[in-house]
Amino acid sequence: MSALLAKVNKLKDELNHHNYQYYVLDCPEISDSGYDKLLRELQEIEAQYPELVTPDSPTQRVGATPLTEFNSVKHEMPMLSLANAFSDKEFSEFNQRVVDLLIKADVCNSSDIKYAAEPKLDGLAISLLYEKGILVRGATRGDGSTGEDVTQNIRTIETIPLKLLGNKTPSRLEVRGEVIMDKKGFEKLNQVQRKNNEKIFANPRNAAAGSLRQLDSRITATRPLSFFCYGIGIISDDVALPDTHSGIMALLKSWGMRVNPESKVVVGVSGADSYYENLLNKRESLEYEIDGIVYKVDNLAQQKILGFVARAPRWAIARKFPAHEEMTRVLGIDIQVGRTGALTPVARLEPVFVGGVTVSNATLHNQDEIERLDIRVGDTVVIRRAGDVIPQVVNVVLSKREGKPRKFKMPTHCPVCGSLAVRNENEVVTSCSGGLFCEAQGKQAIIHFASRKAMNIDGLGDKLIELLVDEGLIKTSADLYSLTHEQLAGLERMGDKSAAKLLNALSQSKQTSFARFIFALGIHDVGETTAKTLAENFQSLEELELASVDELLSIRDVGPVVANNVMTFFKQKHNREVIDALLDAGIHWPKTSPVSKQAQTLAGKTFVITGTLSDMSRDEAKQALQALGAKVTGSVSKKTDYVVAGESPGSKVDKAQQLGVEILSEAQLKAFL
């Protein structure tokens, strides 16, 4: 057993070491799969010997039984807040106060104060209590004196060590820091939430707070949270402490705590200013959000002299960056029609400077999003723009709503072409149904029409289509077929030769198949396979155009969304006009017989057709038989069931007679069909 215990301890130490290399030093020594292998090894031993599981085991991060409520935690040392400086001037006033107080106290003879400068992380403050090196409690800041016990949730955050490293750790230590969600993790989480119709988080800070305040830690375990420490609270006096804040941070780092790598000691106002410039430039490229810089007098003796005012230390200040969120008013809600026909509501805003640019529009995505925000024209809203991310409406400031503005409704028709706007069940997007006709979709529709799997028009690429539309030579795909040699040869980078080639390709594309043509129309949700299915089930375009929803739904693989889209597409007069123009231009395809709709009454039977038939060609007879499931071959054998004999049949009939195969006349064949 002791050998096993030693093995378990070795595995734990190794895993803790690799965690530290990865999260704290950002310098992994093994691959992810190498780490997973060690973890699995430990998990397997623990599964066999549950008595060996300890709370600090690296396996214990997956979340525990849900709580009904959080217990409250009284902070032994209050968790303070910070005073803010919004300008250089306010910072230098702060610095001057520090200098004056320290000179007065006779502990400083220079005005060049050393500050520990750190990013001000935009997450939530957390207190971590370690006893004998083991994490025993994690608590939120709450009101500064009482917070909530979120230990179960804290344990799921991989950047928080469950056990301190090294053997010279204090018997009691409270580490303080910020739990954050990085930008990528936040975007991903919201995507998932949106897909599952769950709460959307306004910003990474809210997402981090919401995730940490989950009663079910198994949910917290799925959230991309991480942690940086920025100080200590209580600490037992069994270890000697350095005399600076930066020294304490270095010590915390040696114990396995993650310290922000941007932290730096700077000197005086000029040092602080250049740190500010530097970090502000870096702000958008950081993986996580910061809303400023915290400057802390580095020397702890000096900190002690400076003391506190109200609930904030006099030795620290938060120098804030320009905000990522601002308030403004919604002047109107416009509808934009995208290249795929999606109708997107966009809020027109009173211009506001936020995140470094002036914002006058923000997408509202769709009807559901508008309802979620309950946004109405005239409302005051919070706009957020962080980094390159497009501006978002975070929320409506309801207290500023005046009167009773009407709720916004999506239009019933496309504002560009007037076609019906359709929103299918289970879809969030409302789309224009005038695919072939709508100018907003024009280029995209033509590009699709000409593509390889549709009409396969060789030499007609995206760029050329865009040029043709921009030059006003075509509006719809039907216009392609009236392009002239002069028009094409006159275009930029087109000579006589390429013009002739393209005209030839256009002419060749006229001979197509029914399936390709249906696909080329670009009906929403009708891909290549669906187009094929439709072509197999309808004799002609007219039949498809007139199909009822029930008829469409009776086809295998056609569901209500496709049925509705097909119906609506053909109902649009504009679409019919473009189709007519295409057919007038000479587009045609061989008639196919509807295969799968007919009962396969001749399945398993083999036919041979010989001689000349009077009412149909041999090919037509073949297709008709095949449509009923029969096999049609060229020579008579024992396996042949029937020989169809027309005029002057020849030797095949003799063979059939020899083998005793039944011979059918054309009239008998017709009866079969």
Site membership for ligand IVH, residue 251 (CB under 6 A): no
Site membership for ligand IVH, residue 147 (CB under 6 A): no
* Of 79-87, 101-109, 269-277, 447-455: span binding ligand IVH (CB under 6 A): 79-87
> For residues 59 and 43, what is the distance between their CA atoms, to the nearest angstrom?
6
For residues 258 and 165, is the Cβ–Cβ distance under 8 A? no
Q: By CB under 6 A, what part of segment 393-452 binds ligand IVH? A: none
* Nearest distance, CB of residue 315 and ligand IVH, angstroms: 8
Site membership for ligand IVH, residue 363 (CB under 6 A): no
| 172 contacts: CB under 8 Å, gap ≥ 6 | 129, 130, 131, 234, 235, 236
* Nearest distance, CB of residue 311 and ligand IVH, angstroms: 9
* Nearest distance, CB of residue 121 and ligand IVH, angstroms: 4
Active site residue 120: yes
Report residue 596 as tokens.
């799968």
Site membership for ligand IVH, residue 80 (CB under 6 A): yes
Site membership for ligand IVH, residue 230 (CB under 6 A): yes
Nearer of residues 259 and 555 to ligand IVH, judged by Cβ: 259
Report residue 609 as tokens.
């057709």
Site membership for ligand IVH, residue 313 (CB under 6 A): yes
Count of residues touching ligand IVH (by CB under 6 A): 15
Hunting for tokens 């040092």 — which residue is that? Answer: 271
> For residues 361 and 383, what is the distance between their CA atoms, to the nearest angstrom?
10
Nearer of residues 280 and 583 to ligand IVH, judged by Cβ: 280
Site membership for ligand IVH, residue 120 (CB under 6 A): yes
Hunting for tokens 């910061």 — which residue is that? Answer: 290
Query: DSSP of 272-318, one letter per residue?
Result: HHHHHHHHHHHGGGSSS-EEEEEEEESBHHHHHHH-EETTEETTEEE
Report the SS3 class of residue 539: coil
Dihedral, CA of residue 10, residue 14, residue 16 and residue 19, to nearest 10: -170
Site membership for ligand IVH, residue 319 (CB under 6 A): no
Nearer of residues 83 and 134 to ligand IVH, judged by Cβ: 83
* Nearest distance, CB of residue 141 and ligand IVH, angstroms: 6
> For residues 568 and 563, what is the distance between their CA atoms, to the nearest angstrom?
9
Reported as type and span, the H/E element at residue 535 is helix 528-537
Reported as type and span, the H/E element at residue 619 is helix 618-627
> In this chain, which of 21, 54, 81, 380 binds ligand IVH, going by CB under 6 A?
81
Catalytic choice (7, 12, 74, 120):
120
Site membership for ligand IVH, residue 98 (CB under 6 A): no
* Nearest distance, CB of residue 213 and ligand IVH, angstroms: 15
Kindly provide the residue ranges of all beta strands, DSSP E only, lying in 397-488, ordered along the sequence.
421-422, 430-432
Site membership for ligand IVH, residue 178 (CB under 6 A): yes
Site membership for ligand IVH, residue 288 (CB under 6 A): no
For residues 442 and 528, is the Cβ–Cβ distance under 8 A? no
Q: By CB under 6 A, what part of segment 526-565 binds ligand IVH? A: none
Over the window 3 to 22, marking each residue x when it contacts ligand IVH by CB under 6 A and - when it does not, the resulting string is --------------------
Q: Are strands 134-140 and 392-396 parallel, antiparallel or unpaired?
A: unpaired
Reported as type and span, the H/E element at residue 293 is strand 290-297
DSSP state of 117: E
* Of 120-128, 352-360, 438-446, 617-625: span binding ligand IVH (CB under 6 A): 120-128
Q: Which residue is nearest to ligand IVH (CB)?
A: 125
What is the amino acid identity at position 9?
N
Site membership for ligand IVH, residue 656 (CB under 6 A): no
Site membership for ligand IVH, residue 318 (CB under 6 A): yes
* Of 113-121, 324-332, 349-357, 498-506: span binding ligand IVH (CB under 6 A): 113-121
> For residues 416 and 342, what is the distance between their CA atoms, to the nearest angstrom?
12
* Of 80-88, 269-277, 391-399, 470-478: span binding ligand IVH (CB under 6 A): 80-88
> In this chain, which of 249, 294, 446, 625 binds ligand IVH, going by CB under 6 A?
294
Report residue 286 as tokens.
């950081």
> In this chain, which of 8, 24, 82, 664 binds ligand IVH, going by CB under 6 A?
82
What length is written for the chain? 673
Site membership for ligand IVH, residue 208 (CB under 6 A): no
* Nearest distance, CB of residue 399 and ligand IVH, angstroms: 24
What are the C-alpha distances in Å from 84 to residues 143, 258, 267, 391, 596? Answer: 18, 25, 19, 26, 74
Planar angle of CA 387, 389, 394, nearest 5 degrees? 105
Nearer of residues 158 and 178 to ligand IVH, judged by Cβ: 178
For residues 24 and 253, is the Cβ–Cβ distance under 8 A? yes
Just list the catalytic residues: 120
Contact positions vs ligand IVH (CB under 6 A): 80-82, 118, 120-121, 125, 141, 178, 230-231, 294, 313, 316, 318
